[in-house]
Chain A
Amino acid sequence: MATSEAAAKKAGYAFVAPALFLMAVILILPILLAAGLSLTNYSLGNPGFEWVGADNYERVFTRSKFEKMIYATTVYVAVVVPVSLALGLGAALLINSVRRFGDLYKTIYFLPVMAALLAMAIVWEFALHPTIGIVNEILESGCWITPLRWWPWYDAACEEGFPLWLGDKRYSLGVVIFVGIWQAFGFNMVLFLAGLTSIPRELYQAAEMDGARTGWDRFRLVTWPMLGPTTVFVITITAIRAFQVFDIIEAFYPIGAGPSRSAFVAMFAIFETGVQQNLVGLGASITIVFLAFIMVLTLILQRGVEKKVHYA
């Protein structure tokens, strides 16, 4: 078997070589390149560049524009992750508990995951059009319903007109977040549904025998703990995706990321600074900060939290 072993060894190297090469060139090299460029004032097309030390990083952390970037990105992630998680879990629990049409709801809720986000964002923009958009039309049509008018915001809007949505800086980031949740929660729902089906039925029966009478007791005792690994995974993947939000903002605000840069998220900042304005050094420093943030967060979620939710 010596010959076979040697052949296997040789084949092993031959088989991983292309992957290794591509990983090095496409994934590792750019990180090193970005790290290097972030210390320069390089621009595409310029013959040379100068080392500027940590200037770029200083700008990222001091300029009000990037303060807005950090704010918008953080708010976006901090809202989209928990809300789409809660909605995904809620939808999964409801769908799992209804006797009929569960599959139909599942299909519908999953549609946004399949559709090109850019296209759907453009459609949302239409739907949110202040005068001819269907959203305001629907909202207006409810103004005669008295109970709804008890909601002060709604009452005021009925009197004074409904928001401009995208054009209003008070709502712009909110609308971006709304579309982000709209797109993401179906994915989470499917993951939770898969998690729910893998919970042994006997555990629920044991809980019932042990005296768990209410749905809440069963949820606390069985469902929620057993969904631990799924939940961590959902948080991780939703957070990574949310950090990279771009399509919605580009669709809504091709220039400037919204009224007074209210939706100036990290990916948009990298694109605008590094590609459009050709401030490669500055863009690279945002890239590095951004990347470090994502990778550390992923690691914490995977290593730190996952230990606590895997029981085997």
Chain B
Amino acid sequence: MSAVTQTGWSTGEIVKHTILILGALIVLLPFYVMVTYSLKSPAEIAQNAGGVFGSQDPMTDERCVARNQPVRTDVEAARPQFPELDDSAILGRLMAEVEASCQVTPAIYNYTTAFTEAPLLRYMLNGVIVTVSIFFIQVLVALPAAYALAKLRFWGRQAVFTLVLFCLLIPVHAIALPLYIMLAQLGLTNTYAALVIPWTISVFGIFLMRQFFMTVPDDLIDAARMDGMSEFSIVWRVMLPTAIPALLAFAIFSVVAHWNDYFWPRVVITGDRNLFTPPLGLRDFRSTADGSFFGPMMATATVIVTPLIVAFLLAQRRFIEGITLSGMK
């Protein structure tokens, strides 16, 4: 604020950047660990060697070796190739061949294992199915309700809005237990429905959209009515297009919350791997993995975390808007 505009790096500026850089290092530490471990061999992880990207020296894939272990028939089939050797020597030769064919680069090993040892693609697909269904149903329910609460006059409207405000106080995770009991009684645990149903109603979405619709001039709606539009088509053909920016922000808010959600899937999905969402899959991977699986596990974590991070980096402003839009209250 001083009248003299400063240029260059003053002491204060250097101190500020030092603090900010230190903070950034702590924030980035786990991301660094995740990515760097996902590139390293088990030996490198255990010895804390290999620098940032690992040495990428070929390593032996023990599982591959175990899978291709030469058996009796292999030895017999190989006899004509090595007439001068006895069986145990042939076995040794075949083992060497298998081991040689099972040499892989750690990075490739980690990432392929992540996808082959567990149905990671399936988890990702489930994540997409669940987040997309949740978002669409939320909009389908919230948009007309928000329009009615903002623009239509009917008896009991205020009561409904009061109920919405009350429901804003209820965190869905907190009532997970009774919800779980209800779904269990209906036989719906371990289904996609169980993953989606509790989130179909977003009171926050209703509230947000209502506040947004309040700012839309009544004249626009009256003009649509004069053009002969039904209330139904006003919602989807007039209000929806005007609400695109708010909807986009809400979409980001919703997708981020449900892609990353772990608690609810953990409650209602027990055992059926085909229904696992990405965080559940990662946890499952972890509980079954032994120490040598650190690399593939970090690869899994990287794969799960990457889509949102990349999307965030590409559209930062929108993401921050979306995630913080709860601040509009």
What residues of chain A have their CB less than 8 Å away from a CB belonging to chain B? 4-5, 7-9, 11-16, 18-20, 22-23, 26-31, 33-34, 37, 44, 87, 91, 94-95, 97-99, 101, 105-120, 122-124, 126-127, 132, 134-135, 137, 182, 186-187, 190-191, 194, 204-205, 208, 218, 230, 233, 237, 240, 243-244, 246-247, 250-251, 254, 267, 270-271, 274-275, 280, 283-284, 287, 290-291, 294-295, 298-299
Q: Counting CB contacts under 8 A, is B31 at the interface?
A: yes
In the bound assembly, the distance between CA atoms of A135 and B282 in angstroms comes to 23
Chain A residues, Cβ within 8 Å of B170: 27, 31, 291, 295
Chain B residues, Cβ within 8 Å of A120: 30, 34, 301, 305
In the bound assembly, the distance between CA atoms of A161 and B145 in angstroms comes to 61
In the bound assembly, the distance between CA atoms of A119 and B262 in angstroms comes to 10
Chain A residues, Cβ within 8 Å of B176: 270-271
Q: Are B200 and A190 in touch, CB under 8 angstroms?
A: no
Q: Are B30 and A194 in touch, CB under 8 angstroms?
A: no
Closest chain A residue to B47 by CB distance?
A132
Option from B47, B153, B163, B316 in Cβ contact (under 8 Å) with A12? B153
How many chain B residues sit at the interface, stated as a range, is 35 or more
Would you give 12 A-B contacts (Cβ < 8 Å), ordered by A?
A9-B155, A20-B163, A22-B141, A22-B201, A31-B170, A108-B24, A110-B320, A115-B309, A132-B45, A244-B173, A270-B176, A287-B175
What per-residue 1/0 map shows which CB atoms of B105-130 lie under 8 Å from chain A?
00000000000000000000000000
In the bound assembly, the distance between CA atoms of A50 and B47 in angstroms comes to 58
Q: Are B177 and A19 in touch, CB under 8 angstroms?
A: no
Q: Are B20 and A94 in touch, CB under 8 angstroms?
A: yes
In the bound assembly, the distance between CA atoms of A16 and B23 in angstroms comes to 47
Q: Counting CB contacts under 8 A, is B259 at the interface?
A: yes
- B175 to chain A minimum Cβ distance, whole angstroms, is 4
Q: Are B142 and A19 in touch, CB under 8 angstroms?
A: yes
Q: Are A105 and B24 in touch, CB under 8 angstroms?
A: yes
Closest chain A residue to B252 by CB distance?
A114
Q: Are A31 and B27 in touch, CB under 8 angstroms?
A: no
Q: Are B179 and A30 in touch, CB under 8 angstroms?
A: yes
Q: Are B201 and A23 in touch, CB under 8 angstroms?
A: yes
In the bound assembly, the distance between CA atoms of A270 and B181 in angstroms comes to 13
- A31 to chain B minimum Cβ distance, whole angstroms, is 6
Q: Assuming A8-B154, A12-B157, A107-B313, is B19 touching A118 (CB within 8 A)?
A: no
Q: Are A271 and B24 in touch, CB under 8 angstroms?
A: no
Option from B141, B175, B225, B324 in Cβ contact (under 8 Å) with A291? B175
Chain B residues, Cβ within 8 Å of A126: 33, 37, 294, 298
Q: Are A26 and B141 in touch, CB under 8 angstroms?
A: no
Beta-carbon contacts under 8 Å, B140-183 to A: 140-142, 144-145, 147-149, 152-155, 157, 160, 163-164, 167, 169-182
Q: Assuming A108-B24, A126-B37, A240-B171, is B287 touching A15 (CB within 8 A)?
A: no
Q: Are B27 and A108 in touch, CB under 8 angstroms?
A: yes
In the bound assembly, the distance between CA atoms of A133 and B167 in angstroms comes to 44
Option from A27, A108, A113, A291 in Cβ contact (under 8 Å) with B167? A27
9 pairs of A and B residues whose beta carbons are closest in the complex:
A11-B231, A12-B154, A15-B144, A30-B178, A19-B145, A22-B201, A15-B148, A12-B152, A116-B260
Q: Counting CB contacts under 8 A, is B71 at the interface?
A: no
- B287 to chain A minimum Cβ distance, whole angstroms, is 7
**A-B contact sample (9 more), CB < 8 A, given A122-B301, A123-B33, A267-B174:** A8-B152, A15-B152, A18-B141, A22-B201, A26-B198, A114-B309, A116-B308, A132-B47, A284-B177
Chain A residues, Cβ within 8 Å of B294: 126
- B185 to chain A minimum Cβ distance, whole angstroms, is 8
- A84 to chain B minimum Cβ distance, whole angstroms, is 12
In the bound assembly, the distance between CA atoms of A32 and B169 in angstroms comes to 15
